[in-house]
Chains A and B, each alone.
Chain A
């Protein structure tokens, strides 16, 4: 990841059920930066993330990935990984099969076994995801980030159901990713220990 990537949001606004959640939201995120979105329940954090992934249209405003509007950019989805409230895992498939599927849809980086070792799931390759605990399933979903080649990570509450050690582990992954030129956008209720030099914050 040597290229410089920029995500620009210009005067975004979001309306849900006739309620204005936010308006005139403008920010720029460059390679190597982490954007933390904070706000009370119902402030529109998830809605904002879904707008940033292009799954939802903003009421107004523009969103550009490397100076191309994301709806016209062929590269945006090549470069973006999203982990929402749902893990996007198939419970009836094994951990390995799930990761292999994720790699087939994008380009692979790490070997599956290495990615699973990194998130502490060695030995669970052949286990059906149904049999993993909630925290293990979340870790497997996050392992998807490590084994596919995506500069922009968009994470909705990535630390739900993780224990303290895993949270620290993932914070270190996020930090490494940013230092290697990646971009991270996340919401979190937890206090993050990421270095402040990397971080931008938006309070909705």
Chain B
């Protein structure tokens, strides 16, 4: 009897999650709508202060993206936990950490990639310069996967709790801080005309660190929640 293929299982988890997202496509709108609404509130609250708005626009977009990601990550393992398919995922010959990674990747594709598409529009609404919008997009592209990867650990830990939402935010938000700091300093540097490659390299480093290190504790926490 041969060993089942890992690549096939990895692909199957991603396609299943994308297919499920497609079946529930109405739910895809909510993080996106949340993102747009939060950003829209700021010009309304600040009034006609265009220079101030321009100055804080990247921060607004980043914080909104961070909160949208936090909001959507909560459901990452919930449905699988409730209907028993998580047990089946644990009981495969494949490393659970890699299957977890497949789930996180599909979550990022479903929840964060749409934000990347709408972010330039939001930037224009907040009077950002086109080159700065480019930098903002780069930081979002490198930063949002980290948010999903780190969030997955906390979601796995709070899975056994009925109302884990508030605890989840308390656990996760401090861990999001480094990403936020490097992203905003990259944008700051770009706005004042300095080179941004250093900041971006740092963000790449964080991304690779998260890619390699977070799936293991997530898998361990999932096993703990199941037992």
Residues of A within 8 A of B (CB): 1, 3, 50, 53-57, 74-75, 77-80, 82, 84-93, 97, 100-102, 104-107, 149
CA of A125 to CA of B190 in the docked complex: distance in angstroms?
55
Instruction: Give chain B's interface residue range (CB within 8 Å of chain A).
Output: 20 to 34
Residues of B within 8 A of A (CB): 1-4, 8-9, 11-12, 16, 19-20, 23-24, 79, 82-85, 87-94, 223, 226-227
Establish whether residues A55 and B91, one from each chain, have CB atoms under 8 Å apart when the complex forms.
yes
Q: Chain A residues with Cβ under 8 A from B2's Cβ?
A: 107
4 shortest interchain CB distances as A-B pairs: A86-B84, A104-B12, A88-B84, A78-B93
Dominant SS among interface residues on chain B:
helix
Q: Chain A residues with Cβ under 8 A from B89's Cβ?
A: 105
Establish whether residues B91 and A93, one from each chain, have CB atoms under 8 Å apart when the complex forms.
no
Q: Chain A residues with Cβ under 8 A from B85's Cβ?
A: 88-90
The smallest C-beta distance from B195 to any residue of chain A, in angstroms, reads 46
Q: Select one of B11, B24, B87 contacting A88, CB under 8 A.
A: B87
CA of A204 to CA of B91 in the docked complex: distance in angstroms?
25
Q: Chain B residues with Cβ under 8 A from A102's Cβ?
A: 88
Give B227's nearest chain A residue, CB to CB. A56
Q: Select one of B3, B8, B23, B223 contacting A92, CB under 8 A.
A: B23
The smallest C-beta distance from B38 to any residue of chain A, in angstroms, reads 29
Establish whether residues B90 and A105, one from each chain, have CB atoms under 8 Å apart when the complex forms.
no
Q: Which of B3, B24, B91 has the most CB of A within 10 A?
A: B91
Q: Chain B residues with Cβ under 8 A from A97's Cβ?
A: 16, 19
